[in-house]
Amino acid sequence: MTSKPENSETAAAETPAPPALPQVGQVSASDIVFALRAGVADFLARPIMSGFFGLFYAVFGLLFVWSLLWLGQIWMIIPAIIGFPLVAPFAAAGLYEMSRRMQAGESFGWADILTVMANQRKREMGWMAFVTLFIFWVWIYQIRLWLAIILKDVSFSGFDGFVTAVFFTPEGWTFLAVGTCAGAFLSAALFSVTVIAMPMLLDRQIDFVSAMITSVRAVMENPLVMLCWAAIVSVTILLSLVPAFLGLVVTLPVLGHTTWHLYQRIVPADTK
């Protein structure tokens, strides 16, 4: 009769406690400046390899927009371009690895960096990619929903007609206002769960849920600084899209390397 409680107590004692979440530190605007300088230094140290990731991201964006034109999905072009920065943290995974190796004084070549995502297949990065792409899909879907609700009576043909309907009609202004509010919420949510989680998953053994929780804690502990960083990332990437996405060849690598160093400032190394 008494063996079950004893066994239960023994099993409970032998069950390992879940690992504690990493500590999150306080950062200031000076930390962003430090991280930006370090990010630029990392880019200049390996400009061709770093620029490759920016070029790949730019080419992907151009092909994505071209495919929308080819498929006749004109309405998706503007929301796709605006939502493009949402997937930047995932696209910068190789840049985080480059900064990590340079900071540790490790040598590396193209194969080491280009296979970084493949090496994560048994870890948690795949789930983080799923979260990123799911929120991007929600972003596109909610734009389509508001388009059907608000612009249902507005006809347009071709890209020029769509721009006219959105920017020069009362219904279009309503669509932009509602879409901007919904998009701001989704962008804030995705930024909060990925800004620290992405580099953390490459840096240490941690599950993606714990990484996302730590990332959200980092944003909540440093709301103004992280809001400033989110604004820098979004504005920089959007401006980089203007010259046929080519600005991303430089800006994405610099932002990726900078994110790594900002992560290092927020999550102290002694909490690994």
Where is pLDDT greater, at 268 or 116? 268
Where is pLDDT greater, at 148 or 1? 148
Asked whether residue 122 carries a pLDDT value surpassing 60, the answer given is no
Is residue 150 classed exposed, middle or buried when 0-12, 13-18 and 19+ CB atoms within 10 A define those classes?
A: buried
| Every domain of the chain and the residues it spans | 26-271
Where is pLDDT greater, at 241 or 17? 241
Please tell me the number of Cα atoms within 13 Å of 252 on its side-chain side.
Answer: 33
Tens digit of each residue's pLDDT (9 = 90 or more) over 185-227:
888 898 999 999 989 988 888 899 999 999 999 999 999 999 9
pTM score = 0.83
Judge whether 84 and 61 are in contact, CB under 8 Å.
yes
Asked whether residue 9 carries a pLDDT value surpassing 70, the answer given is no
At 126 the pLDDT is: 76
Of the pLDDT bands very low, low, confident and very high (cuts 50, 70, 90), residue 12 is very low
Of the pLDDT bands very low, low, confident and very high (cuts 50, 70, 90), residue 241 is confident
Phi, psi for 201 (deg, rounded to 5): -65, -30
Tens digit of each residue's pLDDT (9 = 90 or more) over 77-103:
777 777 777 777 777 888 999 999 999
At 31 the pLDDT is: 96
At 215 the pLDDT is: 95
Asked whether residue 36 carries a pLDDT value surpassing 90, the answer given is yes
Cβ atoms within 10 Å, residue 212? 22
At 6 the pLDDT is: 54
Q: Where are the alpha helices (DSSP H) in the chain?
A: 3-14, 29-45, 47-71, 77-83, 88-91, 93-104, 110-114, 125-150, 158-167, 170-194, 197-203, 208-221, 223-240, 248-266
Of the pLDDT bands very low, low, confident and very high (cuts 50, 70, 90), residue 21 is confident
At 125 the pLDDT is: 77
